[in-house]
Structure formats: C-alpha cells, structure tokens
Amino acid sequence: MAPKKICVIGSGNWGSAIAMIVGTNAMKALNTFNQTVNMYVYEEIVDGQKLSDIINNEHENVKYLPGRKLPANVVAVPSLENAAMDADILIFVIPHQYVKTICTCLSGLVKPTTIAISLIKGFEKTESGSIELISHLIHDMLKIEVCVLMGANLANEVADGQFCETTIGCKNRKYNGMLKELFETPFFRVSIVDDAETVEICGALKNIVACAAGFCDGLLLGDNTKAAIIRLGLMEMISFVNLFHSTSRLSTFFESCGIADLVTTCYGGRNRRIAEAFVKSAKPLAVLERDMLNGQKLQGPITAEEVNVFLKYKNAEERFPLFTTVHKICIGTIKAEKLVDSLRDHPVHQLGLKSNL
C-alpha cells in the first residue's frame, strides 16, 4: 500500500503541538506514512508576514505555539483544498464553531477510504433544537470513518515533551495499529477504546466543569470544595453521556479522556483561568477572552449553552444542577456566588451513581 498522506486541519496551540508529534512519527514510519505532513493554516498576518510563510521558513508557529520547533516535514498550507487534497488521514483540530464551514469546503473532495481523527471539543446544535456530536457531523458531511482523540493534554506541555497519556475512541479495531503508530511517542502514551462517543463527550463536557472550578478558585473556596465540584461535575458527565447516548461504559471515564483530562483542565486549563478572572475582575467573559486568550476561543461557556439546549429539550435541567448553574452564571442570570448553593442538595447525594446508570 502507498504511504498514507496526513493532513492536520488547524494550526492553533493544540493543532501545532499535535503536528509536532505526527510529523515526527511520520518520519519514523517511512512505509506507513507519506513524509510530508500538510497543516492547514487559516492565514493571518503576524508582524507584517504571512503566518504560513513564517511557519514554513522558521518551522515555528510564532503566534500559537511560540518557542517550539515544528519538524521540517510539517508544511503549512493556507488553502484548505490544497492541504487536504488526496489525504488518507485528516486530523481535525479547530474550534468547534468552524467545523461545518470546513466540512462544507471539503465535501466531495475527500476519498471514501479516508479516516478522520477529531480532536475537537464541543457539540453542534441541530435544526431540531437538540445537539449532535462533532464526529457525527463530520461523518455525515464527508461520509468517512471518524474517530476521536481526547486526553489530559495541555498543548504547551505536550509540545515540551512532558510525559502524558491520551485516549483514542475508535469503533473499528483495524485502525488501532495505524493510530498508535501515528500518535504514540515515549512521552505521549495512547490507549484506544471503542466507546468513542463517551470519549468525545468527556472532551466537551470537562470544559463546563472547568468553568465551575474557575468560579470556585475565584471565590477562594478551597481544595475541598473544588474536589466536590470536580466529582459532581464528573457525575453529571456520566449522567449526561447516559442521557445522550445510552451505551457508554463506566470504565471509559477512568481513561485519560475522563478523570485525567477533567483534573488537568480544572487545575491548568484556560477555561478555569478565565472563569477565575470573571469572578475576581467582574469583567464580561467576552472581554476577558479578548484580553487574555491571544485570539484563542473559550469553549466552556459555548458548550454549557449547547448542553443547556439539550437538557431543556430533554426536560432534564434539574438533574444537572452544576451544568445548568454554570450556564446561568456565564450568561449573567445568576451570580457565581450561588454556585455552591446549587450543589448542596445534588441528586447524587440521595441516589448516588445508581441514579444515572
């Protein structure tokens, strides 16, 4: 078989970090992968130069992953069509609000044998007033197999080669060997499970919990309260997966995509950081996002809103007091100080995990 052509769609902080890994792995697996890895770059002008030119000349994404070198075989391509042309492997790593546009552009260009791996956190709102998974949206629009990769993977630390784990959700075992070859390194340990929907939903929902953790930090509530918020958030994640998609397995929540990613995000991620600043500064989230994130998008409040759409659709808001309260705090209808009051009589205190399974 011909070596597979890889295209990374996205070149933000995480997109650039994952391009470092797959670029390096492609060079090591001459027979499996084409040696050139395309990286689609949404063109911007940085200090008077095109970002794609900077990346191709200096092998560094100076805007989104400064200070780390990309392998020379990662080539920035500012045209989506050219980047994805003939790709056998598409790695989606863009903010979730752009997926539909990207897939519309790719529709008809992608081979039916291509496999996509989505690293995207979030949901897509549907016309029927509910939500659907990003992986399902990609599958429906491009008619290709889609798996997901999620885990406790803050991009800068992955780029620095700090040891971590990740989880790939893939329903078709025939891809497992290729996926390990593509993503695993001595410092980036890959576990593959077939409960792909749970993996993906965990990646989206953890950002809501991280907002609650950030509010908790902003209110100086301490470690015990934060641990309770993380636990109750995890319980709502489990309930939500079972409400949204009835076939999840509890063991998946023990993978890196579950508790590990939740913990990292609640201690080190940007949703936590902005939510903390929201409480301490009393500035609107949009202002903090603009001032503190250097053009990156905040996923937690958007995901909280999408999840709220679904909970209303299912008439289940009361069973998810943490998710519901985070949404209300983000849109300003209740104060962050009310967060703990909403958790004092949480349904799981009466019913435990049994209520959700």
Residues 6+ apart with CB under 8 A from 246: none
Q: Which of 52, 256, 303, 324 binds a second copy (CB under 8 A)?
A: 256
CB of 150 to a second copy, least distance (A): 13
Q: Which of 85, 292, 293, 340 binds a second copy (CB under 8 A)?
A: 340
Stretch that binds a second copy, among 77-85, 150-158, 309-317, 322-330 (CB under 8 A): 150-158
Count of residues that bind a second copy according to CB under 8 A:
51
Q: Which of 222, 295, 313, 338 binds a second copy (CB under 8 A)?
A: 222
Helix or strand holding residue 6 (H, E): strand 4-9
Task: Give me 305's structure tokens.
Answer: 């809103």
Does 97 carry a binding-site annotation? no
Q: At residue 327, what is the residue type?
A: H
Q: Does residue 353 interact with a second copy by CB under 8 A?
A: yes
Question: Between 40 and 253, whose beta carbon lies closer to a second copy?
Answer: 253
Residues 6+ apart with CB under 8 A from 190: 165, 166, 167, 168, 179, 180, 183, 184
Question: Between 37 and 230, whose beta carbon lies closer to a second copy?
Answer: 230
CB of 228 to a second copy, least distance (A): 5
Give per-residue burial for 4-20: e unless 16+ CB within 10 Å, then b.
Answer: bbbbbbbbbbbbbbbbb
Is 125 an annotated catalytic residue? no
Q: Which of 154, 209, 212, 329 binds a second copy (CB under 8 A)?
A: 154
Given 4, 5, 63, 206, the catalytic residue: 206
Q: Alpha-carbon distance 135 to 132, whole Å?
A: 9
Q: Alpha-carbon distance 71 to 22, whole Å?
A: 9
Does 233 carry a binding-site annotation? no
Length of the chain: 357
Listing DSSP states for 256-267 in one string gives IIIIIHHHHHHH
CB-CB contact of 256 with 191 (8 Å): yes
Does 297 carry a binding-site annotation? yes
Stretch that binds a second copy, among 83-91, 142-150, 197-205, 249-257 (CB under 8 A): 249-257
**Per-residue x/- marks for a second copy, 175-214, CB under 8 A?**
-----------x--xxx-x---------------------
Terminal Cα-to-Cα distance of the chain (whole angstroms): 44
Q: Alpha-carbon distance 347 to 318, whole Å?
A: 9
Does 61 carry a binding-site annotation? no
Q: Which of 112, 173, 318, 344 binds a second copy (CB under 8 A)?
A: 344
Does 15 carry a binding-site annotation? yes
Q: Which of 148, 164, 179, 241 binds a second copy (CB under 8 A)?
A: 164
Question: Burial of 157 by CB count in 10 Å (0-12 exposed, 13-18 middle, 19+ buried)?
Answer: middle
Listing DSSP states for 298-335 in one string gives P-HHHHHHHHHHHHHHTT-GGG-HHHHHHHHHHTTSS-
CB of 301 to a second copy, least distance (A): 21
165 bridge partner residues = 189
Q: Which of 78, 242, 267, 334 binds a second copy (CB under 8 A)?
A: 267
Can you give the binding site for a second copy, defined by CB under 8 A? 152-154, 157-158, 160, 162-165, 186, 189-191, 193, 221-228, 230-232, 234-235, 238, 250-251, 253-256, 259-261, 263-264, 267-268, 340, 343-344, 346, 348-349, 352-354
Residues classed as catalytic:
206
Binding site per annotation, positions: 10-15, 121, 155, 270-271, 297, 299
